[in-house]
Amino acid sequence: MGKVFKALTKSMPVSDPVVELDNENGIASETIEEVQQEVCLAKQQESADQTSTSRDWDERLAVLTGKHPEILESFRRLRTKIVHPVKGLPAKTILITSVLPEEGKSFVCANLGCIIAQGVDQHALIVGCDVRRPVMARLFGRDNDRGLVHHLRDGTDVSDLIVPTGLKRLSLLPAGPPPVNPAELLSSDKMTGLIDELANRYSDRFILLDTPPGQAASETAVLAQHVDGVVLVIRWGRAGREQIQQLVQTIGKGKIIGVVFNAFEMTIIDSKMKREGYYKYYSEHYD
């Protein structure tokens, strides 16, 4: 599979030990008790490693905190629409963007990666493509001194740049330090080639691209033509209707597989339901 495969599988779960038989005597080389003890210790260590790593995560990674069941349920619904579409095959390369800065597209991308990686059969790789304002590494408590920029500009092997996040089945390719020519790097053939390589190599892996806001960077529209689908993040009271329509026309309506309405203001009824009704019911019975 190569070095990229090894890098992407760093955070994958280790298979349970297998009891081998002595070929001559037909006797198990390890007792069932020993195997069970090894499995238990491995899982405890795995859990401890994840807990230690996730302590450095940004609090905005709401999916794993359990403090906001309504947000968790929203991301579950988004995952379902992506993994199990009504028609056709799932979109494996997904670009997450917004119209304007500060609409929460990196927040959505990070949490979507977490919720996909919590599925039974899915893996996810987040690629930090917002090289002007890189935040993805910080969200996961990782350094941003090396990343996508080094692959596109210097030719560094991408397998040496992918890092584990602390969550099984979720890896991260950080953006790296801001370059002097971000538009040229992200619009290059090397970038589109990287998307194709990652998508074609792993059939069970979703590639999530955290890109710059559509109206702030021209390369986002270019990248959108080389992915299977786009998730558009719209923040309450931020972008205007005409701005949203313009970006949809630029990307292409057929490319958009989901719209996330972020940071909406609750009505009195919504607030009451959150405390006493629908969300409380689901948080008690499904979290």
d(CA 94, CA 87): 17
pLDDT digits (tens, 9 = 90+) for 7-27: 555 544 444 434 333 444 443
Q: What is the pLDDT of residue 239?
A: 85
Instruction: Write down the pTM of the prediction.
Output: 0.74
Cβ proximity of 266 and 275 under 8 Å: no
Helix (H, G, I), strand (E, B) or coil at 205: strand
d(CA 17, CA 81): 35
Extract the residue ranges of the chain whose pLDDT is less than 50. 5, 11-30, 35, 38-53, 266-287
The four Cα atoms 94, 170, 59, 48 give a dihedral, to 10 degrees, of 170
The CATH class, in words, for 51-268 is: alpha beta
Strand partners, 126: 172, 208
d(CA 99, CA 165): 27
pLDDT digits (tens, 9 = 90+) for 95-149: 999 999 999 999 999 999 999 998 888 899 999 999 999 999 999 999 999 999 9
